[in-house]
Amino acid sequence: MGYDDGWSALHLEMPEVVPRTEYSAEFHWPLIEAVTGITGLDGANAATRAKASRQFTEAWDYALIWSTLISAEEFGPTRTRMGHAVYMAQGEDWDANVSTPFLSPEDVLAFRPKEGLPAVDHTQTRRRFEEHYRQNRLNWPAAVNMTGVYVTCVSGLIDLFGWDLLLEAHGDDPVRMGELTNEYCEWLSPYFRALADSNVPVVMVHDDLVWSSGPIFHPE
């Protein structure tokens, strides 16, 4: 079954079947309707959709549920909003909200993450991780669950500054951009200390260091 195979794989025990996970199929409602026989999900409420998603993951025998807690919302108002293209059925994820507090590459290079971003409380953050993991286990009992951080290093800088200004600032002054990146990682480190102290056995650390065409930045 999914949980047992997923847990074995995480411990390098080589289960008899390759454990399965997916990264978005559980909210593609036409697919879920086809697999579960549940209808009317396009306009259904959150509780109905959650129940259908759970049945779907069990039918497809998910071994691992991908989930992170820490996102760009942690930045507060100091972040860039890039909007979102249509990916989900019926275009539910379309977002035309595009804005940024940074107006130039120099604005990016002058930003000090430890001064401009909210302080991170260790005890509160540890409890948030544990509660997120507990809730995930309730939502997806048949698979291995986790909590984690999405805005690690590069992904965090993309959410802070947006693609255009991030790349322009790096091109203008890669040394200062490196210093800024190091300071951002220092600001982020309390989340990882909280993870280390939390009662959570599996964590996800997400980042986008390399895309299909190669590294975003020169490896040097």
Predicted confidence at residue 128, as pLDDT, reads 98
Predicted confidence at residue 143, as pLDDT, reads 96
Domain coverage including residue 46: 2-59
User: Are 123 and 153 in a shared domain?
Assistant: yes
User: Are 77 and 53 in a shared domain?
Assistant: no
Predicted confidence at residue 29, as pLDDT, reads 92
5 pLDDT above the threshold of 80: yes
Predicted confidence at residue 157, as pLDDT, reads 96
User: Are 101 and 33 in a shared domain?
Assistant: no
pLDDT band at 215 (very low <50, low <70, confident <90, very high): confident
The count of structural domains within the chain is: 2
User: Are 24 and 118 in a shared domain?
Assistant: no
Give the pLDDT confidence of 97-143 residue by residue, as tens digits.
889 999 999 999 999 999 999 999 999 999 999 999 999 999 999 99
Indicate the range of 2-16, 52-66, 203-217 predicted with least confidence. Answer: 203-217
**The last residue of a domain, from among 36, 59, 82:** 59
pLDDT band at 82 (very low <50, low <70, confident <90, very high): confident
Three-class SS of 35-102: HHCCCCHHHCCHHHHHHHHHHHHHHCCECECCCCCECHHHHCCCCCEEEECCCCHHHCCCEEEEECCC
Distances (CA, A) of 207 to 33, 50, 86, 174: 32, 27, 22, 20
Nearest 5°: the CA angle 83, 85, 86 is 135
Taking alpha carbons only, the member of 22, 57, 19 closest to residue 36 is 57
109 Cβ partners below 8 Å, 6+ apart? Answer: 169, 172, 173, 176, 177, 180
Q: Is residue 189 part of a domain?
A: yes
The backbone region for 215, taken as left when phi is positive above 0, alpha when psi lies in -120 to 50, beta otherwise, is: beta
Nearest 5°: the CA angle 197, 15, 135 is 40
User: Are 175 and 89 in a shared domain?
Assistant: yes
Predicted confidence at residue 30, as pLDDT, reads 93
What is the pTM assigned to this prediction? 0.91
Q: Is residue 83 part of a domain?
A: yes
